Structure 1
Amino acid sequence: MERILIVKRLSEYLFLWALGGTLYYSFEMMFRGFSHWSMFLLGGICLVFFAQQGMWTGWTAPLWKQVGWCVIFVTACEFITGILVNKVMHWNVWDYTDQPFQIMGQICLPFTIIFSGLCAVGILLSGYLLHFLYGEKMPGFHVL
């Protein structure tokens, strides 16, 4: 029985990772005209986190708190990924040096705000998909 639960959870993570990667890569293609495979990996990791933080809290935390946690996670991951792919490997995937309130050209306030909207969508999407596809607890989203 425990093995079945492990396989189920692995299936959930792989599904969410692939979906998150595909959605974020597609989002960048639509709005920037190009993307990079590293953004597929990052988008997948982020969607898995969106679902995981909801499961950790039983989907009972107010949506604004969940978005806050996820924005912090996404921004930290973007910074770490940026240092690796842009500074260490010199792949030049993105550069925010021309944006206001940026740090080392890797993160900036305008994109953090944009990501907050994507986080809200990702939280809702992951919660409902896990419920309807995998029988996980129905999320009880509330704003306050």
Structure 2
Amino acid sequence: MNYKICLPMKLFMLFCFGGCAYTITELLFRGNSHWTMFILGGICFLLVGGINEKFDLSLPVQMAVSSLIITALEFLCGCIVNLWLDWKVWNYEQLPFNLFGQICLLFTVLWFFLSAVGIFTDDILRWKMFCEEKPVYRLTRKRSE
């Protein structure tokens, strides 16, 4: 189904898709989730999907930038919901290379690989649902012309 839709509605739909996808992923792998993870997942999905809307980057660079964005937002969210509000949504203190138990190297690497799924999904949704350009990917930097 292809149709034109106003920007706020499109962003809201993508946000909800990302929030649902993240919550479902957490439920499948952890067995539980928290409503704040819906919000975090939606924001991350919008930002990860928006990288190639503004910049012409190779797929691995998009994935690296996405991993850093997700990790930064996870740290910010963790500092608020876990350290400040003491909601105990997650705790990585038992994992090596963690920062205050809110982020860790293992999950930063995991976000790198999972971000490819987010990038592809966002591009397909934008192409099929919102009549945007068909996605094209590069694995290396663009050649000089």
Same fold per TM (> 0.5)?
yes
What's the CA shift for 1:136?
1.2
| Alignment-derived partner of residue 44 in structure 1 | 42
The partner residue of 1:124 within 120, 123, 131 is 120
Deviations 1:41-99 (A, max 9, x none): 00000111122111102xx4110010111111000000000000000000000000000
Question: Does structure 1 residue 28 correspond to structure 2 residue 23?
Answer: no
3-state SS in 1 of match to 2:68? helix
Which residues of 2 match residues 55-134 of structure 1 at below 5 A?
55-57=53-55, 60-134=56-130
* Structure 2 runs not aligned, ≥5 long: 141-145
Q: Give, in whole Å, the separation in 2 of the partners of 1:135 and 1:96.
A: 41
Supply the distance in 2 between the matched residues of 1:11 and 1:22 (Cα, whole angstroms): 16
Hey, what does 1:14 align to over in structure 2? 12
Moved over 6 A (4+): none
Superposition CA RMSD, Å? 1.2
Q: TM-score, normalised by structure 1?
A: 0.91
Match of 2:137 in 1: 141
Q: TM-score under structure 2 normalisation? A: 0.90
AA at the equivalent of 1:26? I
Equivalent pairs counted in the alignment come to: 137
